Amino acid sequence: MIGVDRQHVASRTFRTPLSTFNIINPLGIKGVGEIGIVGVAAAIANAVYHATGKRVRDLPITLDKLQR
């Protein structure tokens, strides 16, 4: 284990008010939805595997790839 012998680990926090994060992209929207869709492709691939028994390891998942 690393640092087991230390009683205190120094850390640095950044306290920036949320009102300063008003960066908007050229479309006029804030990009916060990206975190929520990270696991969607993996979940769909797992659902296809459980439904068909065929493992597809590359995207996009098409009928042609399932018939191989």
Residue 34 bears catalytic tag: yes
Q: Looking at 34, 38, 60, 63, which residue is catalytic?
A: 34
The pLDDT of residue 53 is 92
Burial (CB < 10 A; 0-12, 13-18, 19+), residue 22, is exposed
The pLDDT of residue 45 is 93
The answer to whether 48 and 54 have CB atoms below 8 angstroms apart is yes
The answer to whether 40 and 61 have CB atoms below 8 angstroms apart is no
The answer to whether 54 and 63 have CB atoms below 8 angstroms apart is no
- pTM comes to 0.48
The pLDDT of residue 1 is 47
In order along its 68 residues, the chain shows pLDDT tens digits of 455 555 666 666 666 665 666 666 677 676 666 667 778 889 999 999 999 999 998 889 999 998 88
